[in-house]
Amino acid sequence: MAFAEQYGPWALVTGASAGIGAEFARQIAARGLNVALVARRRDRLAALGKEIEARHGVRTLTIAADLTDPDFLTPLTEALGTRHIGLLVNNAGAGVTGDFLDHDLDDELRMLALNCRAPLILAHHFGSRMRDDRRGGIIMLASIAGIVPTPQFSHYSATKAWNRYLGEGLHEELARDGVDVVSLCPGLTESEFLEHADVDPSRWPSPLRASIMNAEDVVAAGLKGLGRKSQVVPGLSYRMLMRASRLAPGGLSPWLIDRVMRFALPSRGDRG
């Protein structure tokens, strides 16, 4: 079945104002789907919408929304009207590095709402219609940090493990109903996320900087895996790292990652 026939006529992409989300919108539009762009920054969405319409000849809809709001779904569905969402990309997310106990609890709860609660609500709402139609797709943005526990990124890592498990479970549940679900687990990717998470790759040694992927390749891998796999880890080096982590003795991987993170974030120091 052709991509647009399986997942059209509209895709909805959260966190679409920059980075991986914006690239998902571009590549999905290039495959012939109309795209609903969801994020907080209305001006960024409007500019992206104009770009996509001019380049790909599809329609776009911009929806400025804060997915941490308790009732975000009501205004979002009102803005969509009768548009039929055949592909959901649960991309919006946030994270911050450093010691968990040094973070503000309210900020951590907002991260939980954005990274877990919102994708759950959206997957349930749009997935129900997809199941009735016996077609459609859902992409859950997880992370390699959702495969291996990541000290100095502990809560973010936990939320991405949640996304990964939900996506892989739904992959099996919905396959019999004709709905494709994949958990996309990228490693370090060029995006605003690194800046927002207070990560500065310029401090890193060149081999670590070389592991940073671009959003185009990450998104291409995710779309290629949709309908084929339950989990996609873009990049050969990251796939090898994940295989090695499964072979390591229990506890070794988090210990090593903690040391790497403390090296990469020297301002954090070591509390011993």
List active site positions. Answer: 156, 160
Dihedral class, residue 188 (left if φ above 0, else alpha if ψ from -120 to 50, else beta): beta
Chain CA centroid to CA 105, Å: 23
| The residue count for the chain | 272
- Tokens matching residue 14: 């959260």
Pairwise CA distance, residues 253 & 149, whole Å: 8
Angle at which helices 19-30 and 215-225 cross, to 10°:
50
CB-based contact 223:234 (threshold 8 Å):
no
Closest listed residue to residue 180, CA positions, set 230, 123, 126: 230
CA angle centred on 138, ends 136 and 140, rounded to 5°: 175
Pairwise CA distance, residues 24 & 30, whole Å: 10
